[in-house]
Amino acid sequence: MVVHEITHSWFGNGITSVSLIHFPFLYRWTHCCWYLCRHVNACHFWLNEGWTTYIERLLLQIIYTPAHRGFSFLIGSKKLYDDLKQYQSTPRYQRLQIDFEYGENPDDAYSSIPYDKGANFLLHIGKFPWWHCFNWLLLRRFGGR
């Protein structure tokens, strides 16, 4: 938990819906409009928590072993599947990007879905051949210019 909160300082709080402008491929993947990209709102909560969870697990691999990272993804997958079952009656809460109605409380959709589904999404796109270019962009964005 401490690693997760520290990771927010470096990645989670620095990645918001505004980041979609810097990483246009995320724009395509999240299917949002440019208007939303310019305004931080609750429907992009996964950007903050998904990135933080992904980087937290990457740090587990660096600090301990790749097995620790893999085990953390397995534990997260169990929580994710449990929460997906919980929201079967409201499938829109199962999405990464939730379009909240005016006046709707975002806490009604709070679960491990933005954390683990977001981290798994990033893990998935990390398998594409261009991921090394993405890592370069990430380091450039957060590691100085």
| Catalytic-labelled residue, pool 27, 54, 93, 115 | 115
C-beta atoms surrounding 137 within 10 Å: 12
Burial state string for 31-66 with b = 16 or more CB within 10 A and e = fewer than 16:
ebeeebbeeeebbbbbbbbbbbbbbbbbbbeeeeee
- Catalytic residue list contains 5: yes
- Catalytic residue list contains 115: yes
- 126: amino acid identity, one letter: G
| Catalytic-labelled residue, pool 5, 64, 81, 104 | 5
Catalytic residues: 5, 115
